[in-house]
Amino acid sequence: MEITTILDSIDLGAMALPEFQRGYVWNRNQVRELMNSLYHRYPVGGLLVWATKTEQADARGNQTLNPGHVKLILDGQQRVTSLYGIVRGTPPPFFEGNALAFTDLHFNMEEEIFEFYGPVKMRDNPYWISVTDLMKKGLQPFVGHIFQTPILSPRGDVYISRLTHLLGVKNIQFHIEEVTGADKTVDVVVDIFNRVNSGGTKLSKGDLALARVCAEWPDARQELRYLLKQWEQAGFYFKMDWLLRNVNTVLTGEAMFTALKDINALQFQPGLKQTEKAVNYLLNVISGRLGLDHDRVLGGRYAFPIMTRYITQNGGHFKNAHERDKLLYWYVHSFLWGRFAGSTESILNKDLGLMEDMDGALDRLIEELRLSRGDLHIRAGNFDSWSLGARFYPMLYLLTRVGEARDWGTGLPLKANLLGKINKLQIHHIFPKSRLYDAGYSRAEVNALANYCFLTQDTNLIISNRFPEDYFPQIEAAHPGALASQWIPMDPNLWRIENYRDYLAARRELLAQAANDFLDGLLSDGTATASIDIAANDDTPIIVPGGITDDEESDLLLRTNIWVMEQGLPEGAMLFELFDESGERPLAFLDLAWPEGLQTGLSEPVALLIDEEYQVLEEASAAGFRCFTDVADFRSYVEREILALAV
């Protein structure tokens, strides 16, 4: 089939893109190479399409499909989309991605090369012509241009021949292979898609699961996106795969997405509603009872499938406060010890298996945690970790929100229900960072969790960069007990910078005691501190390097992530936990990372690491990440190599 006929078929709705396909991911280099190959009549491969009945087709976008039958593109989307954009001058109706990748492609009639428009090189240079203008207007307007331009006219016949050859790209034949037949279900077609795209963009397990659902319920993806947007507006950022995982466990009691193969749309829709209610219920409980009221402090996201399954199996709510607190006890310990940080599906399946009989399920989940840990007792050494990425960071925030912690400027309690949005808590370095660095302390010591507390914005600004030995006495005089309410050791000698390490040790002890008291209090049957004496559980903390050190750095990373998504590229993972090959031992926290690349399956893993120590860079580089330590350099890379913008 000629390229021009393929493009006409798209306009007529006779050819479209299946819903399970991802968006457009090519960059300008790839588009340029495609046109160069076509111009020289090099082979660029054929197309693979799925010929199916229109009423059974689940196509992407708002394209009106041809009555009767339609051909859904399985292999060749990037080539077809690029050609449509170049020839038509606009993206196809199913387009999702960055249209700049194929906009303003130019051809040099003398050198026979393709480049994207650059004003310095091409302005007032008659050798460069717009490929899209040629494709849309035909040869005639360019004949006059050539013979009326003195520098071009002596070789006018050569240039016209070359433009005619370029225009002939539209008439190149693409071989089209069809997948057809009643036996070609979505499962079969998706498997074919992944096989032929082994070198390109593969679908995630969640994509495959959603593809099956979308085949029967075309609005499924939109409904899921709506829910994710609702939670985002409430301050919680979840991904599509996470939501699907919850729906999967609610409906099937299994973690593997393959379990959804037997779930039809009529079953999926009420399952999604159950999941929505369960997640909303849990977020309210976790915010209200634990104080974890926004995304940065919400630990253990993959504990949610266990909890949503439990809630829906119990009629959508807890029977009483004791049952609620027991599940929350399990939830907090699951993220403190990284229960789902490694091999998520296998651990989820193991825990879901413990819930097949709901009677005593919570006790079995807690016991399984104890067996894996040896005991569930928090030690001072566990607070040796540092940065906003540490697993015990949410624990520090939790203690601030649920206990008697008071603001040092107003003396008022910092409980969630006593603060309005205008008084959102900020991270405060008790010993100021700049003073500690000046005194020769390391980054890990400066940003130790025991040097963090939470205060209102006004109080944080008032304290500013002063030493504790200066401002602690003033706080204690104005608000007696406010320091102790935030687990500050009250020995004035520990408030001096030369005794900073002793201060950290003392405050870690106080934090550990407070954490154990709270968690033990969640269980009223006296089982909270029961332990199994095994040698594997000692008091030696596992220090994982890397992470975010303050709200300013966190905001910078968040803005960068938003900018990336505005370019039509995938969202990065904040505080990505890098593991060794076994998936068991954490190696480092990466501030912002794309482990599958900014063009999934087509570009290298990338990490943005702000002010990190060498060990983090070393671990990330060894794992195959291309690392950037400056936002400007990272954005330049995205524009130059991913988007291929003229900068």
Per-residue pLDDT, averaged over 154-162, amounts to 94
Can you give the pLDDT at residue 562? 86
Can you give the pLDDT at residue 343? 63
Can you give the pLDDT at residue 194? 58
Q: Give the 3-state secondary structure of residue 337.
A: coil
The crossing angle, in degrees rounded to 10, of helices 265-290 and 240-252 is 110
Residue-wise pLDDT for 473-526, tens only, equals 999 999 999 999 999 999 999 999 999 999 999 999 999 999 999 999 998 754
Token pair 């076509």 is at which residue?
Answer: 38
Per-residue pLDDT, averaged over 41-60, amounts to 84
Contacts of residue 136, defined as CB under 8 A and 6 or more positions apart, other chains included, come to 87, 88, 89
Per-residue pLDDT, averaged over 196-216, amounts to 62
Q: What are phi and psi of 95, to 5 degrees?
A: -70, 135
Residue-wise pLDDT for 77-120, tens only, equals 899 999 999 999 999 998 988 788 899 999 999 999 999 998 88
Residue type, 476: E
Can you give the pLDDT at residue 422? 38
Residue-wise pLDDT for 392-431, tens only, equals 888 999 999 988 899 999 998 887 555 444 346 888 999 9
Can you give the pLDDT at residue 163? 96
Q: Which of 63-72, 255-264, 274-283 has the highest mean pLDDT?
A: 274-283
Can you give the pLDDT at residue 573? 81
Can you give the pLDDT at residue 99? 84
Higher pLDDT, 63 or 387: 63
Residue 4 has pLDDT above 80, yes or no: yes
Is the four-CA dihedral 296, 302, 308, 310 of positive or negative sign? Answer: negative
Q: Are 586 and 640 in contact (CB under 8 A)?
A: no
Per-residue pLDDT, averaged over 577-594, amounts to 76
Can you give the pLDDT at residue 439? 94
Per-residue pLDDT, averaged over 553-579, amounts to 83
Is the four-CA dihedral 282, 562, 245, 348 of positive or negative sign? Answer: negative
Residue 530 has pLDDT above 50, yes or no: no
Per-residue pLDDT, averaged over 3-29, amounts to 87
Can you give the pLDDT at residue 484? 96
Radius of gyration of the chain (CA): 30
Instruction: Give the span between the Cα atoms of 321 and 311, in whole angstroms.
Output: 14
> What's the pTM value of the predicted model, to 2 decimals?
0.66
Name the residue ranges covered by the structural domains of the chain: 3-179, 204-321+335-373, 381-522, 551-642
Can you give the pLDDT at residue 522? 93
Per-residue pLDDT, averaged over 131-149, amounts to 93
Model confidence band, residue 536 (pLDDT cutoffs 50, 70, 90):
very low
Residue-wise pLDDT for 562-571, tens only, equals 898 878 788 8
Can you give the pLDDT at residue 215? 66
Residue type, 230: Q
Residue-wise pLDDT for 308-350, tens only, equals 999 999 999 999 999 999 999 999 999 988 888 766 788 899 9
Residue 179 has pLDDT above 50, yes or no: yes
Residue 256 has pLDDT above 70, yes or no: yes
Per-residue pLDDT, averaged over 364-377, amounts to 90
Residue-wise pLDDT for 603-632, tens only, equals 788 999 988 877 888 888 888 899 999 999
Give me the percent of the chain exceeding a pLDDT of 70: 87
Instruction: Give the span between the Cα atoms of 286 and 327, in whole angstroms.
Output: 10
Average pLDDT, the chain: 85
